[in-house]
Structures are given as C-alpha cells and as structure tokens.
Amino acid sequence: MHKEGSSGSPVTSPRPMAATRAIYPGSFDPITNGHLDLVERASKLFGHLVVAVLTNFEKRPLFTPEERVAMLEQVTKDYRNVSVETFGGLLVDYAAQKKAQAIVRGIRAFSDFEYEMQMALMNRKLAPKLETVFLMPAESYTYVSSRLVREIFCHGGSVKGLVPQLVEEQLRKKFSGKNRKG
C-alpha cells in the first residue's frame, strides 16, 4: 500500500530524521544554557548537528569566532553527533556545502517568530529542499539571550545558571582589567 499526494502521484517517504544532517546557526556570543538546551534536543532529533558560529563582524562580538568555537566544542564534547564550525555568507550556501537538509532555529517568544519566519521563507525560496525546524527552549530559558547575559554581566550582575560555568569563567577573563560595575 502506498500513499498518494494531492496530485495523485505516490508520495515518497522522507528520509528518517536520524539520517538527516542539520545546522544550528547563530552568533553564540556568549553561549547560553538556552543554546545548549537546543543543542541537546536537536542532537536527539538529527543524525548529525553542526553548530555553526556566524562570523559577522558588523555585530561587534564580545568573543572572537575562535573563542566561541573553543567554548562550544568544550561544552558540547559529550554529544558524539555534534560538531562546531564557523561560517560566513549565506546560510543556504553553507548548508549546501555541508549537505544539510535542515536548519534548526530557536524561538523563545512571539517577538522571535516574525523574524525567524521571514528568514525561513527566504531560505526556502533560495533552497527549496532545505527545511527549517523551530524548537522552543525549556521554559526556564525562554527569557535568556546572549545580549541580556552580556548586559547583566557588564553591570556586575550574576549570570550563574544562565550560561555554562566555562562561559562564566571566560566572561570574567574577558572583563578582568576592564571597567565592569560591581
């Protein structure tokens, strides 16, 4: 027995997600526990997950791409099917280069949805076979963003529980000798 699509032609079974390569792109500046929550869950859904650090210098990053990759490699080392790389340019071109079938994006709130939807639709226009999968972080991380972590830390607040211990240590090193309140 086979299924038929709306056109009456047979529907081919999609590849199982376990055989699918996905890319989780972002600036990860710094890595938050919300990012790690999505890495953990996406690593269970896909055969291979590439955490792709965007090298966009227009954003004036706190950490260099190399520092972010090193931290991500350290905090994701227990996931056998996760690798970490950098990329620049169009995500769809990078996905084609990596032979990825899916993009993973996190949505914390409705405010994220409009932007992410636009990006997903544009990516679909540019690469129709590339799917975007939206994941929501655990409720405890819905309010956490890299921007807020940087702001809290710069003003002397505690980021404990918002970022991995390694990232908190790297933030301290980055700001030692700099003007930080507290």
Q: What is the pLDDT of residues 142-168, one digit of tens each?
A: 889 999 999 999 899 999 999 999 999
Sequence-ordered list of residues with C-beta below 8 angstroms from that of 104, at least 6 positions apart, any chain:
22, 23, 24, 38, 42, 46, 49, 132, 133, 135
In 11-136, beta strands by DSSP E: 21-26, 48-54, 82-87, 102-106, 131-135
Map tokens 């301290």 to a residue.
Answer: 172
Give me the chain's average pLDDT, please.
88
pTM: 0.85
Residue 22 has pLDDT above 70, yes or no: yes
Catalytic residue numbers read 35, 59, 108, 146
Residue 1 has pLDDT above 50, yes or no: no
Domain residue spans in the chain? Answer: 17-143
Level-2 CATH architecture, domain 17-143: 3-Layer(aba) Sandwich (3.40)
